Amino acid sequence: MVRGLGLDLVTISRIERLIGRFGDGFLDKIFTPLERAHCDRHRLAAQHYAARFAAKEAILKALSVPKGLRWHELEVRSAPDGRPEVHLHGQAAVAARDLGVTSILLTLTHERDLAAAMVVAEG
């Protein structure tokens, strides 16, 4: 049964501007060290940061934006086969449990100046 649904669209240039303006301060606030390592491995890192930012926003929507949540509690990892996976920590994990969420499906995409993510929270 679907417990939550989230969709988000981000312009890659917006993320590039934020990185240019705030640098590591922005990246450290929003992304975990594992997420940063993944994105920084790619030639067009901003695309990957934008997709993961969109994923975090989509996860928030699917979980009805839990109060007191911190960005690092929403983590996007890559499975061995390359699929994106959602890992929840802290308040995010509590919110998912309270909603009856047992799994979260995530898809990411980017094209030109857009990055998008869609999340289905199942339970």
The strand pairing partners of 6, in sequence order, are 119
Q: Round to whole Å and give the CA distance between 78 and 95.
A: 23
Amino acid 100: pLDDT = 97
For the chain, the average pLDDT equals 96
Is pTM beyond 0.85? Reply is yes
Instruction: Name residues whose C-beta falls within 8 Å of residue 90's C-beta, 6 or more positions apart in sequence.
Output: 69, 70, 73
- Kindly give the parts of the chain with pLDDT less than 50: none
Q: Round to whole Å and give the CA distance between 60 and 41.
A: 26
